[in-house]
Every structure is written in C-alpha cells, then in structure tokens.
Amino acid sequence: MDWADELAASVDGPQVVNDSKTPSGTVHVGSLRGPVILDVIARALRARGTATSLLYGVDDLDPMDAQALLTPDAIEQEMGRPLAHVPDQAGDCHASYARHHAQTFIDTFAGLGIHPDRYYWMSDLYASGAVDPYIRTALDRAEAVRAIYRRVANVQHPADWHPLQVVCESCGKVGTTIVTRWDGERVFYECRANLVTWARGCSHAGLVGPFGGRAKLGWNLEWAAQWSIFGVTIEPSGKDLSTAGGSRDRADAIAREVFEREPPLNVPYEFLNIGGRKMSTSKGLGVAAHEIVRVVPPEQLRLLFLRPRPQTAIEFDPIGSDAIPRLFDEFDRLADATAGRPVRGELPAGHESVFRYSLLDPQADVAGIAAAFRPAFGHLALLRQIPGVDIDARVEAEKGAPLTRLETATLRERAAAADAWLGTFAPDKARISVNRERLPEEVEALESDQRAWLARLAAAAALDPSDPPGSGDAWQALIFSTAADVGLAAGRAFAALYLAFLGRPNGPRAGWLLASLESSFVVERLRAAAGEPGKETS
C-alpha cells in the first residue's frame, strides 16, 4: 500500500475524499473497489494527522438507461425517467428503484469497515436548491461548455445546445430532453422522440424554470458541481472515466474554466473482471456485492481490492472456481509474512501495509492479528463436509495449543464462509462424500503402478505412527515425494487418490482432503485401494 501512504504524504491541508455511484441496477462486487480505495486513502491521510472527510454520493437523478431489471411492461414507461422517480421494481421496500439498489449496496459498507462521514443523494441536492447556482453558471457559460467539449473530447454540439436536461412536464423523462434556449430565468426544452436509442420521448416542448430539481446538469457538469459543493480534494475514478478526452478530462476542464476551481486529485483505478470481461451494473454482468459479502469475510474482500495497485486490473471469477479459497490463502500468506514466518512466492510491494489496510479496524493490533493461528480455508471446507468431526478439537489439535478468543472468532467466521461457499460458488470438485464403510467400486479402474504407489504412500504415512502427516501441506509434500520416488506422474497419482476416497478421478486439493480425515483411516483406505490382503474391500 505504498501508493496510499505516498499520496497521503504528497498533499497539504484538510482533505475531502469523495466518490459516487449511479444505481442503474444490482450493484456488482467490482463496484466495491472504489469505496475500498476511498477508505484506504482516508485512513492513510488520518494516520498522518490530516483532517479528512469521507463522502459517498448516489447519482439518482440520472436517467434509467438499462433494461436488465425492468419488466417488459415497464420498459416503455420507465426508460429515460430519473432513477429516483422509477418505482422500486422489487416491491414497496424502498421509495424508488434508485433507493433500493443504492441502499442494498451501501448496506455492505459498514461490514467492510467503510464508514463515510456523509452520504448524499443528488435528487435531494437538486431539490434543496444546492445545485441551482451551478445550473445558472453552466447556462450562462454554455458557449464555454460547448468549446470544452470540442477541444477536450472532439464532441460537436449544435450552437443552440445547452448543458442541461429538463424533467419533462408531460412524461416525466429526463434522458429524452434537450435544452435549446435560456433567457436568464427559464429554458426552452423539447422532449424528443428519437433523441436517444434507449428511450422514447413524448414530443412535448415548453418553457420552464430549471431550478429546484426540475432539471439536471449533464454528467460531466454535475460531477464538477459536486466538487465545488463539497470542496472535494481527492476523487478516485474508474479506468473508463479516466481515458484521454473522457468524462474525467471534461469534468476537470469544466471545473477550471466554468466553475473556476481546481479539480480534485484523481486516483485512476482498473476494473474487476470476470473471465476478462468488465462487470457491469447496467447490463447485470457480475456477482452482486450484497451476495459476495455473505460468502467472503470483509478482510479477505478488502484484500481482493488492495493487493494489486489501483491501476492493475483484477481477474476474479468466484463461480465454480477456487478463486475464493485462493483469496483466503493469500491473506494467510501475508499474515505469515507480516508475523515474520517464512512464505513461498513473491510478496506484493509494501506487503505489511497491504495486510494492515485489509483489516477492519484502523487501530487494530496488526502484529497480534498476523501472529494468530488460522485454519486453511480449503481444509476447513473439507472438514465441514465430514460427519462427526469436532471442528474445534481438530483445529486446536492442528495448532497444538488452545485457541485464543481471536482465533475462535476467526474459526467461526471461516466455518460460516466455508458453508456459504459450498452452498453457492464452490465447484463440484470441492464437494465431497467419503464412504467410510466401503471402498468405491471405481478403484477397479486403478492400474498396477497406481496401486503400487498407493501402497508406498500408505507405508510412508504409517512409518512413524506417533507423528503422521498432520497438515495439508505435509500430506501434499508426501504425495509428491512418494510419486517421484516410484516415477508416477503427479496427475495419475492424484487421480488414484480421488478414486480411492471419492470414487471419482478429481476432487479438492488432495493433501487437504487427507488431512481432514483421521490418519489411521487414510492409511487403511490407501492399503485397501492398493489391494493389500486383509484390508477393507468393496
């Protein structure tokens, strides 16, 4: 997290950190990257003693322009209306479509340790008159705005175009209106049938005073107005907004040349992708943020966004993969490194800061938390599927000492996460059912070299009955070493294990599967599968 500490050291005076979101549908997990980055910036600033305000807004006067969650009969009526005016499609639990989806997203923040000092809704700001001075300035300087669009983005607006959209008095739509005249108090607007492809206007035209929520600024101008209203000094923005000539460049120019203020410092950040594709709120692509927080505990979810630098894209596909177990493993690896224990593989730059900022409490005892014992998530997911296992006793035995209060709480959290993962995103290979009474019939498919290796593994595991392999890592190392000793390819060795214990050629990480079972049962099953006389048979 060197980048956050460096940013905090580079600024002077009180800081206002801001972000906002258009709630055009179910908000996906990728949208949490902005709020997490925002929170880390605020923490880094406050750690240096800098007075900092953290804001988060909802751009709910934006027009509905996505059909993903609308019923067919609602598309014609609602497309183009302000999101704050669209009824809650999920029922009457919220005042509007915008309030439903935005609040569902915002409700995930506290659990992630994100606590903005203020939330704001643009529909409220417009209605209060707070945006009125900026509407007047933008209309008075419409030619300057048109010039900025031409110069910065090569967008050519007609000479009568004004940077405002009126909420149509007839049909209630805002995305279909265009303002072509301003007399200093009122604007002339038209609700054009074919202004946009995603909504149809009603062809109404009229003169209206554009204040008090009856109209909204175009997005780039509204963004710049937010900065002036709240005195924003730092605002991260996604890659799509930070491209050359894009929304951020336009808003920066508008802030300087129209509203006469210096724009806030930008911290561009990349997307979180699924299968190489950017998650999209409006298109319904991705896993909902409120769903992922039920499976991934907050500290691991914070790590997902913080391990890479903001400008690095994140590939994360939790559905039917081991992405979530790998996330836990990486958290544990960083904890080990922070505690001074040896780890494998390359560590991210500033790994201790990455671990510290992943924790929920900015004042947490980082050293104590890093040193705590944690059961591997994959191993715990296996234990949760084996009937009769005393999870607490097994984990305590693996630690070799009683669990502390923190370690017990971590075990509870991870056990719940493992259950949720197995019930939602886990691939089939992670789900197991070990028949402890009978050898699977599928072992008949084992070839002689695989049987010989199973016998070798059983002998190696039973060599010292007082000290059998206890951890997944220990079993994994023994699997590889014994397979190498007899010249058996690792893939064929693992397939033999899975057939012996699960009756199928694949499964979860083999070392952790064996570690989840009693060592005496493992040795007995290995010998039986190898065909040794006197052992269990199918």
Per-residue pLDDT of 489-528, as tens digits, reads 999 999 999 999 999 998 888 888 898 888 889 999 999 9
Rounded to whole angstroms, how far apart are CA atoms 135 and 259? 10
pLDDT of res. 387:
79
pLDDT of res. 344:
87
Task: Assess whether pLDDT exceeds 50 at residue 392.
Answer: yes
Task: Assess whether pLDDT exceeds 90 at residue 533.
Answer: no
Residue at 216: amino acid letter: K
Nearest Cα to Cα of residue 395 among 369, 375, 418? 375
Q: Which whole number is the average pLDDT over 445-453? A: 94
Helix, strand and coil percent figures for the chain, each rounded to 5: 45, 10, 40
Exposed, middle or buried by CB within 10 Å (0-12, 13-18, 19+), for 347? middle
Task: Please give the structure tokens belonging to residue 410.
Answer: 């971590």
pLDDT range class, residue 1, cuts 50, 70, 90: low
Task: Assess whether pLDDT exceeds 80 at residue 15.
Answer: yes
Q: Which whole number is the average pLDDT over 34-46? A: 96
pLDDT of res. 172:
97
| Whole-Å CA distances, 75 to 67, 327, 373 | 7, 39, 53
Q: Which whole number is the average pLDDT over 368-390? A: 91
Task: Please give the structure tokens belonging to residue 222.
Answer: 């509204």
Rounded to whole angstroms, how far apart are CA atoms 54 and 117? 5
Rounded to whole angstroms, how far apart are CA atoms 23 and 456? 60
pLDDT range class, residue 140, cuts 50, 70, 90: very high
Contact assessment for residue 219 and residue 153, using Cβ atoms and an 8 Å cutoff: no
| Whole-Å CA distances, 357 to 5, 377, 387 | 11, 21, 37
Q: Is 231 left (phi over 0), alpha (psi -120 to 50) or beta?
A: left
pLDDT range class, residue 470, cuts 50, 70, 90: confident
pLDDT of res. 468:
67
pLDDT of res. 463:
72
pLDDT of res. 275:
64
Rounded to whole angstroms, how far apart are CA atoms 200 and 524? 72
Task: Please give the structure tokens belonging to residue 509.
Answer: 């990480």
Which residues does 441 contact at the CB level (< 8 Å), separation at least 6?
503, 538
Rounded to whole angstroms, how far apart are CA atoms 55 and 231? 11
Q: Which whole number is the average pLDDT over 32-36? A: 93
pLDDT-above-70 percentage for the chain = 94
pLDDT of res. 194:
95
pLDDT range class, residue 368, cuts 50, 70, 90: very high
Task: Assess whether pLDDT exceeds 80 at residue 312.
Answer: yes
Task: Assess whether pLDDT exceeds 70 at residue 69.
Answer: no
pLDDT of res. 300:
96
Task: Please give the structure tokens belonging to residue 389.
Answer: 């296992």
Higher pLDDT, 242 or 158: 158
pLDDT range class, residue 529, cuts 50, 70, 90: very high
Higher pLDDT, 319 or 38: 38
Which residues does 534 contact at the CB level (< 8 Å), separation at least 6?
none
Task: Assess whether pLDDT exceeds 80 at residue 282.
Answer: no
pLDDT of res. 537:
44
CA 504 from chain center: how many Å? 34
Contact assessment for residue 422 and residue 381, using Cβ atoms and an 8 Å cutoff: yes
Kindly report, residue by residue over 184-203, the tens digit of the pLDDT.
999 999 999 999 999 999 99
Mean pLDDT of the chain, nearest integer: 91
Task: Assess whether pLDDT exceeds 80 at residue 361.
Answer: yes
pLDDT of res. 280:
54
Higher pLDDT, 437 or 62: 62
| Whole-Å CA distances, 72 to 77, 126, 281, 300 | 10, 30, 19, 39
What 3-state class would DSSP assign to 28? strand
**Phi/psi of residue 498, nearest 5 degrees:** -65, -40
pLDDT of res. 399:
92
Task: Assess whether pLDDT exceeds 80 at residue 534.
Answer: no
pLDDT of res. 536:
52
pLDDT range class, residue 538, cuts 50, 70, 90: very low
Contact assessment for residue 469 and residue 530, using Cβ atoms and an 8 Å cutoff: no
Give the range among 219-223, 281-285, 311-315 with minimum mean pLDDT.
Answer: 281-285
pTM for the model: 0.84
- Which residues lie across from 238 on neighbouring strands? 269
Rounded to whole angstroms, how far apart are CA atoms 94 and 72? 21
- Which residues lie across from 19 on neighbouring strands? 56
Contact assessment for residue 102 and residue 60, using Cβ atoms and an 8 Å cutoff: yes
